[in-house]
Amino acid sequence: MKNYLFLLALLSLPFTHVSNAQLRIGGGISIGVNIDLPLPEIAVVVGDAPCPQPQNRRPIVHNYGSINHQNGPYGRHIYEVTGARLQPTSNQEERILYYLGSGDVLELIIHTVNPNDYNYHYYDANCGDCWTNNNSIVAIYMNQEEIPLHNGSISLQPEVNGRLHSVINLHSIYDGDFNGTIVF
């Protein structure tokens, strides 16, 4: 009887324990596409990049200050001022000439009504009598080409040693902004 019990326990063992098994059947799938079309020839042509044109630069002997030209059509540019002068003309008008390290010349024409006031502002044509009562900026030129202004100001503060400390803040219509400090 002991033998039957042992055999019965051995036969009931697979039904009481759960086991998982996998059966793997070998094989594979290969997909190939053969289209007898000619392959296009691809040619990448890279041209030589144009070299930048050298500018007419003068050596900077003395730096009087700098003028930042920004928000213009050509991005931001910092001009080093290598020379500057205030030149009187006629009819209470004066010219301020800034000679830039790039060879350019920035010229401001100002009208002085009150010599005790060191500030000059740009007034548009709709202002009325602003031109006659206040110091004003008449026009600005870059390389003898007029730059139309939207608004702007310049301050010409005299220093003890006879020099002038000028601060410019000019906003043109098409050419961006000119900001800077120059001592000459």
Mean pLDDT over 102-122 rounds to 91
Summarize pLDDT for 34-52 with one digit per residue, the tens.
666 666 677 677 777 776 6
**What does the domain layout of the chain look like in residue ranges?**
65-183
List Cα–Cα distances, 44 to 38, 47, 50, 51, 183, in angstroms: 19, 10, 18, 21, 54
pTM exceeds cut of 0.75: no
